[in-house]
Amino acid sequence: MSIIIDANGTPKTCLGCDYSLNIFCFLNKLHNILNTTQISADPAETDIIRHFAPASWFCNFPQDLTKYYVVMYYHGAEALLSQQLDDYFATAGVGQDKRDHIYAKITEVNVTSSEMRATVEQQVRISERLSKMLVRIYYYDYVLFGFNLPRFM
């Protein structure tokens, strides 16, 4: 595994796990943080929680789901994502020029094709252990949004 180094020569980390794509380390620490009842005083950890916490954990989200327009995103289906967003914005009365601008921004940067994402996805697909960790964290989101659970579950 390679380690990513910042400009100062220091290994980059997230949740104390180096950027060598050690997904087990990251998911394990994320799982522990999310299952801690104590609110973190560390702003960086709070940001991680806000970003990675399951949607079903937010106050009344399952009850208020009908108030949301949920866009289902699937890797490699940017055209479908763009169409879903365009349909929603058209229904909301957003003008064509603004919708065209949004479409341009969505298709401008395609982070889904990154080498890092592909590596992470491959690790999760071939590791039952990593898949189970993801399901443990996001089980109720799988159920709430109708995603299929991995076959071994």
* pLDDT, tens digit (0-9, with 9 covering 90-100), for 86-109: 889 999 999 999 988 888 877 665
Report, as an integer, the average pLDDT of 60-76.
76
pTM for this one? 0.65
Q: How far apart are CA 33 and CA 87, in angstroms?
A: 37
Give the confidence band of 4 by pLDDT, cuts at 50, 70, 90.
Answer: very low
pLDDT, tens digit (0-9, with 9 covering 90-100), for 105-134: 776 655 545 777 788 888 888 899 999 999
Strand, coil or helix: what is 126? helix
Distances (CA, A) of 23 to 27, 30, 39, 133: 6, 10, 24, 10
Q: How far apart are CA 72 and CA 91, in angstroms?
A: 17
58 residue type, one letter: F
* Angle at which helices 128-145 and 115-126 cross, to 10°: 100
- Tokens at 2, concatenated: 């390679």
Domain boundaries, the chain: 1-53+129-153
| Positive or negative: CA dihedral 36, 58, 78, 147 | positive
Torsional class of 21: left (φ above 0), alpha (ψ -120 to 50), beta (otherwise)? left
Q: With H, G, I as helix, E, B as strand and everything else as coil, classify residue 14.
A: strand
What is the predicted pLDDT for the residue at 51? 80
Cα gap 112→78, rounded to integer Å: 9
Residue type, 48: I
Check if the beta carbon of residue 55 is closer than 8 Å to that of residue 34: no
| Average pLDDT taken over every residue of the chain | 77
Share of the chain above pLDDT 70, in %: 74
